Structure 1
Amino acid sequence: MNYFKPIKQVKASEEVSQQLKRAIFEGKYVAGDKLPSERELIENFEVSRTVVREAIKGLEARGLVEIKQGATGGAFVKELTFERLSNDCKDLFLLGQMSFTEICQARLAIEPVVAGLAAKHCTDEQAKILIEANNNESKTLEYPEIVLLRSRVHYLLADMCNNRFLTAIDKSLIQLVANITHKFQPDTDKIHPAGLHQSIIDAVIARDEVGAEKAMRAHLTEFISLLQGIEEEYREWLNASHTLS
């Protein structure tokens, strides 16, 4: 009886890609970090430029890195999210096949747990960063910066929960709402007034897991009601535009 499978020769670019991917997943390169330059990778792996470029393109296709051009460009590690799913859901929303309520119901199921875990693991340094993010929510009212500022507390809590799967799901849902609202840019003070995160932050900083979960649930329930009104206005505007055209 044959217990073995034939050996398949692995392409050099796939091996390079696998090693780079492993380095990213092991945290040697985190979101925002720039991977070694093309020249450095060629020297380190002792392969051709073509092999390195093919490997990097593979990472880009998987959504692990973003290629930036210019003198300071290169391959930069992206946030770990379910980006393709998020993009598909955005298209479904714009086509009227998905609602803000459905998206935020998913957040309502996940983010209270994330907030509780963030409270459990909160450090003094993280507490300072949360407070700073909350204080800067109105630093600008311009799109898309305002959306990032009003979402930053949620992103920070996702990072603090110490569960990479929940982090990826949560960030994808947050990004999805941001991408959709950026499409038609509603009044941010109407859709998400500043200061809504205060009770969540207070509970997280106090390491109150139950309180953090409760505060997040209350916040998202209020947020959903605000989003429903915004979505109704958007759908009415969209229908009117189609009628005129």
Structure 2
Amino acid sequence: MDEFTRVLDRALSGGGAPSPELRPVRVASAVDEVSDRLLTAIAVGDFLPGERLPVERELITLLGVSRPTVREAIGRLQAVGVIEIRRGRNGGAFVRDAWTESSGAAVRRTLVPRWAEFEQLFDLRGLVEGMVAATAARRRRPEDLVPMRDALTAYLSASDPREEHAADSAFHRAVCDATHNPQIAMLSRDLLARASLGFPVEPWGKGERTHFHRGGEDHKALYEAIASGDPTRAEEIARAHFTISADMIRDVLARVRDVGRS
């Protein structure tokens, strides 16, 4: 039994591994938990300044809470200036600022108590995404390469972090689609959500250009490996590539720990 099979078997059987859903933080109320979860998601870059948060009904489904809980949590974020509410057809809750004084405490409450679980998820996600990339390299059809190329072009020509974020998501969706197995795509999305505070969105840090350039190089190399039908190379690139997201979350945790000590 290889390393990937052992880790995946432990995760799916529940033997000492994280539960299927991210375990809730034991705080005073569901509103506190949702507020902290949203503040942390914004701090790590799941949602960037100028982006709209998921709509109310989607938050209810993603976080498994009631409508009043979501509304009160959103109200708290609005009160501390992290989001603004826009009315009208294209309205919603939009991120204003990635970081406020309240963010540090929320990040510590959300991440610190279950950091060991996050490290397990980062490890498992690297193994799974390596498998996804290898499978895409074996099964891709000529038409599967078109959306990958388009997303790669969009990523390299992006003019701001939001465009980069969208293009990155499109590229990895295209890789999942090239496996021609919806169950693999669902597993990838589930692990992303579990490692990203319940939201199936890749963390984007503070838009550091070093992460952007490394991501671009990885995307180009991964595309070439899949296009050439090289599963070994594709798996190697993908496993290394997905450490970027883990490193971004580690950076945010280190930042709030430093602030907490000062």
- Give me the TM-score of the superposition, normalised by structure 2: 0.48
Identical positions, percent: 14
Counterpart among 164, 175, 191 of residue 157 in structure 1: 175
Which residue does 2:203 correspond to in 1?
Answer: 181
- One-letter amino acid of the counterpart of residue 97, structure 1: R
Q: Secondary structure at the match of 1:162?
A: coil
CA contact (8 A) 2:122 2:246 kept: no
- The alpha-carbon deviation at position 72 of structure 1 amounts to 8.8
- Give me the TM-score of the superposition, normalised by structure 1: 0.51
Which residue does 1:23 correspond to in 2?
Answer: none
Distance 1:219 1:59, change over 3 A: closer
Which residue does 1:16 correspond to in 2?
Answer: none
> Over aligned residues, Cα RMSD in angstroms?
3.8
- The alpha-carbon deviation at position 71 of structure 1 amounts to 6.0
- The alpha-carbon deviation at position 142 of structure 1 amounts to 2.8
Counterpart among 211, 214, 218 of residue 190 in structure 1: 211
Give the length in aligned residue pairs. 162
Provide the C-alpha distance between the structure 2 equivalents of 1:146 and 1:105, rounded to a whole number of angstroms.
24
Which residue does 2:162 correspond to in 1?
Answer: 144
Q: Which consecutive unaligned segments of at least 5 residues does structure 2 have?
A: 1-55, 63-86, 92-106
1:1-245 paired onto structure 2 within 5 Å? 94-95=111-112, 97-98=114-115, 101-174=119-192, 176-177=195-196, 179=201, 181-182=203-204, 184-190=205-211, 192-206=214-228, 208=229, 211-221=230-240, 223-224=242-243, 226=244, 230-244=248-262
Distance 1:213 1:152, change over 3 A: farther
Distance 1:150 1:180, change over 3 A: closer
Provide the C-alpha distance between the structure 1 equivalents of 2:112 and 2:137, rounded to a whole number of angstroms.
38
- The alpha-carbon deviation at position 170 of structure 1 amounts to 0.5
- The alpha-carbon deviation at position 167 of structure 1 amounts to 0.7
Q: Larger radius of gyration, structure 1 or 2?
A: 1
CA contact (8 A) 1:158 1:171 kept: no
Which residue does 1:41 correspond to in 2?
Answer: none
* CA deviations over 1:170-224 (Å, ceiling 9, x no partner): 1233454574734x52515326431212232223223x2xx23432323422542
